[in-house]
Structure 1
Amino acid sequence: MGGRRRVCLRTMKKESSIFFSKYLSIWVAVCIILGTAIGYIFPGFADTLGEIEIANVSIPVAIVLLIMMYPIMLKINFEEILNIEANLKPLLLTLVINWAIKLLQWHLLHGFSCACFSNP
């Protein structure tokens, strides 16, 4: 009976994650609207949250980021890290894209926006 219950719980978790993923853009929009509404209704709330920091690190932001990253960290197969040499090409491609191409792209975007939107 316990095995059947575990399978049912796994199925429920999978279905709920599919539902959440399917409507992710709606959840993001709802959160943006709620956050904006809370900011208008309680204007001092953002200032209060902004004051909670240690060494210039916002503690509320750090907590929310950890909550967002935790499910992803659970899916990491740490045994595969030992086999990194077998899958070196995707890792190098990711590093080049994130640290070379995207960096150049953001510098160009910054230069373009400064040239277009700054006062002469």
Structure 2
Amino acid sequence: MASSEQHICTICNDDGVSNLAVSWCTECEVFLCGDCEKPHSKSRLSRNHKTMSAEDYQKLPTFIQEISSKCRDHKKKFELYCSYHVCPCCVQCVTDKHKKCQEMKTLSGVLQQVKSSASVQLLEKI
């Protein structure tokens, strides 16, 4: 299990303020305090983002918390999936490392298949 540390709002922290986070945006991968959560939920760019409470985020196993939707090498969002190398790729990865790979799929399509699989449904029941 993850530690019980309290997290600081990422947006406030960037401004040098240490407000405690109340939620985690799974898409932006940032912690939000109550003051920042409201505009985040109303913005056209982020109003459809999924969030979870900071308390629930802390309960996640560490390996889950470390999963990122962005490429470590290029800091760009993963959009594709290489079936040959069995890994997510950003657009730059395709250019740099996967030029000859024939089995590129959209990551959203792959994730949709995974989410609808019997294994995931069984895990959700458990």
In the superposition, the TM-score normalised over structure 1's length comes to: 0.30
In the superposition, the TM-score normalised over structure 2's length comes to: 0.29
Q: Which has the higher helix share?
A: 1
Compare CA radii of gyration and give the structure with the larger one.
Answer: 1
Q: Which has the higher strand share?
A: 2
